[in-house]
Structures are given as C-alpha cells and as structure tokens.
Amino acid sequence: MTNDRIVEIADFIARYLSFMLGAGVHTSRVVRNSKRIGEALGVGVSIYTSQKTATLTVSVPGSSQRDTRVVDIPAYPISFEWNADLSALSWAAFDKKMSLEEIRGRFDEIVSKPKMNPVFVLLMVGLANASFCRLFGGDIWAMLITFTATLIGFFTRQHLTKKKVNHYIVFVISAFVASLCASTALSLGIETAEIALATSVLYLVPGVPLINGVIDITDGHIQIGISRLVNALMLIVCIAIGMSATLMLVKDSLL
C-alpha cells in the first residue's frame, strides 16, 4: 500500500469520525465504526478523543507505514439520522468489502441530505413541550401557553445559533425568553401556571450530552466522558440562570 493511499484513507476516516463525534455519537461507537472501516480497507486505526479534538493514527499491519493527525471536532446539531446512517455505512463497508471511493461516495450522500425543515422542528418541539405540560398535570390553557412560549424560545435559540453566539449565552437567553413568555400564565390566573412555567424550558435540557457522558465513562473513555458531563452541567446552570431571571421579575405573582 502506497503512502498516498494511506493518506487518503486517513483523510476520509478523520472526516468520518469528526462528523460522528460532532453530531453527538458516543465515543465507543465512533471508535468501533472507524476501526471497522479501517479493517475493510486493510489498515489499523487508533483513536484518542477529547472534547474538542481527536488524534487519529492509520497504520498498515506488519509495516512501519502510518499517518497520524489531530482532527478538530465541529459542533454539528445532534443528529440521530447521521448516527444510524453512518453506523450502517461502516457495516456495509465491512460486509461488502467496499472500496474507499465507494465508501466516500456513500458518505457524501449521507451528509449532504437536506436538513429537516426548521419550521417543522419548531412545531414539533412546541408540541413536545406542550405534551410534557399535560403529562405533569397542566390544563389545556397551560398547554397552549407552554406551546407558544416554547415556539418563541426555540426560535430565539435558532436565531442566536445562526448568529454563532456562544452556546452558553444562547441557553441563558433562550431559557429566559421561554420562561418569561410562559409566566403570562401567572398573570392570567391559570391554575396550573407553575407547570407551564417549568415545562417551557424542557427543550433545552441537554439529554444527549448527559447520556453520552455516562456511556463514555462506563466504556473507559474517562476524559471525554467527564468533559461531556461538565458541559451538560454548565448548560443546566445556564437554564437555571435564565429561569431565575424570570422568577425575579414575576416573584410577586408566585406569592
């Protein structure tokens, strides 16, 4: 195997793992999938990950040929579709002994699929929070206010994210906007207003980082697991700060 070919393989696997890690896939799956693709292409793969970067080494078994590089991990939106499709690609590459060109072509098709309509996402998030409100005992009026507050808060988050505002600031502002809108339930005298206020920010809860952090630690990826849990904790603190600002403004209505 030529050095140029090793570099090509390393380039692709580096891109592959950066997309998976950036889209919220837990570390063990990324490592397994990358090694599986490497095995299909006749090379060994070693990966060391951290929160922002990953170190990748591609080597030829029984030879001194190798390529090592440090890969930046981009912050893509959480994507379960990429998780499933890119994992399936690694199995297809292994089972069908696909060439690098075939794997790369399938990969480009997957990552270039049109993104889900943001308006559709906005409506589904609003309905999800309204459902949580009902689940926790909110009445129909509390559900409607939660739905509206979530739409406004999530739209704020989408807008600030497009502007590339620091994500901690985005969480503080989004939590404040959503909870402030939901606080109108207090002034309207709705019986379950507190439930509407509490559930209006549930769309911000960082469930994926929390789950991935625990999985990474149990699988032995201690450093990135702890960093993911710390990041999730910081996001939860940001949500609390945003809600606290609202509660300071409407505290008299709660009494």
Over residues 101-133, the pLDDT tens digits come to 999 999 999 988 887 888 899 999 999 999 999
pLDDT of residue 253: 59
As a whole-number percent, the residues of the chain with pLDDT over 90 amount to 53
- pLDDT: which is higher, 84 or 250: 84
Task: Answer whether residue 233 shows pLDDT above 80.
Answer: yes
Task: Answer whether residue 255 shows pLDDT above 70.
Answer: no
Nearest to residue 116, comparing CAs of 82, 160, 84? 82
Evaluate whether 86 touches 12 at the Cβ level (below 8 Å): no
pLDDT of residue 73: 87
pLDDT of residue 171: 95
- Long-range pairs for 66-74 at CB < 8 Å and ≥24 separation? 66/6, 67/3, 67/6, 67/7, 67/9, 67/10, 69/10, 69/14, 71/14, 71/17, 71/18, 72/18, 73/18, 73/21, 73/22, 73/49, 74/18, 74/19, 74/22
Evaluate whether 122 touches 65 at the Cβ level (below 8 Å): no
Task: Answer whether residue 254 shows pLDDT above 60.
Answer: no
- pLDDT: which is higher, 5 or 233: 233
Prediction pTM value = 0.84
Cα separation, 2 vs 4, in Å, equals 5
Task: Answer whether residue 1 shows pLDDT above 80.
Answer: no
Q: Which of 7-11, 14-18, 88-92, 189-193 has the lowest mean pLDDT?
A: 189-193
Tens-place pLDDT, residues 32-71: 999 999 999 989 999 988 878 889 999 988 888 888 989 8
Evaluate whether 142 touches 172 at the Cβ level (below 8 Å): no
pLDDT of residue 5: 86
Task: Answer whether residue 82 shows pLDDT above 80.
Answer: yes
Averaged pLDDT, 184-193: 85
Q: Where are the alpha helices (DSSP H) in the chain?
A: 3-22, 27-40, 80-96, 100-111, 118-135, 140-162, 167-182, 184-187, 193-199, 207-218, 222-254
Tens-place pLDDT, residues 138-150: 899 999 999 999 9
pLDDT of residue 124: 93
pLDDT of residue 177: 95
pLDDT of residue 145: 94
- pLDDT: which is higher, 243 or 79: 243
The side-by-side arrangement of strands in the sheet containing 44-49 is 44-49, 53-59, 66-72
Confidence of residue 252 (pLDDT cuts 50, 70, 90): low
Cα separation, 14 vs 236, in Å, equals 31
pLDDT of residue 103: 92
